[in-house]
Amino acid sequence: MAGVSLAVRPANWPLRLAWAGFALYLAYAFSHLDFTPARFITGLEFGQKFVAKLFPPDFHRWELLVKGLKESLEMAILASALGLLASLPLSLLGARNLMPAWITWPARLVMVVCRSFHPVIVAIVFVKAVGFGALAGILALTVASVGFLGKLFTEAIEEISLKQVEAVRATGAPFMSVVVFGVLPQVFARFIGFASYELDANLRNSTMVGIVGAGGIGGTLFAAFQRFDYDFVCAIILSIIAMIVVGEVLTNTVKRVFRV
Partner 1 sequence: MTPAVLAEREWLRFTPAERLARFTVYFTIIAAIVVSVRTVEVIPEFIADAPEQIADLLRRMWPPDLAYYPQEIHDALIDSIHIATLGTVLGIAMALPFGFLAARNVTPFPWLNWAARLVLISTRSINTLVFALFFVAVFGPGPLAGTLAIAFHSIGFLGRLFSEALEVAATGPVEALRAAGAPWPSLIVYGYWPQVEPAFWALVLFRWDINVRESIVLGLVGAGGIGMVLDTAMNLFQWERVAMVLLAILAVVIVAEVVVTYIRKKII
Which residues of the shown chain bind partner 1 in the complex (CB under 8 A)? 25-26, 29-30, 32-35, 39-40, 43-44, 46-47, 50, 70-71, 73-75, 77-78, 81, 112-113, 116-118, 120-121, 124-125, 128-131, 133-135, 138-139, 204, 207-208, 211-212, 215, 221-222, 225, 237, 240-241, 244-245, 254, 257-258
Query: What is the nearest approach in angstroms of partner 1 to the Cβ of residue 76?
Result: 9
Query: What is the nearest approach in angstroms of partner 1 to the Cβ of residue 183?
Result: 19
Q: For the residues of 125-186, what is the DSSP string, one character each?
A: HHHHHH-SSHHHHHHHHHHHHHHHHHHHHHHHHHTS-HHHHHHHHHTT--HHHIIIIIIHHH
Query: What is the nearest approach in angstroms of partner 1 to the Cβ of residue 225?
Result: 5
Between residues 157 and 221, which has the closer beta carbon with respect to partner 1? 221
Between residues 59 and 117, which has the closer beta carbon with respect to partner 1? 117
Between residues 131 and 166, which has the closer beta carbon with respect to partner 1? 131
Query: What is the nearest approach in angstroms of partner 1 to the Cβ of residue 172?
Result: 27
Specify the long-range contacts of residues 252-260, CB closer than 8 Å, at least 24 apart. Answer: 254/192, 254/196, 255/192, 255/193, 255/196, 258/189, 258/192, 258/193, 259/189, 260/189, 260/190, 260/192, 260/193, 260/196
Amino acid at residue number 93? L
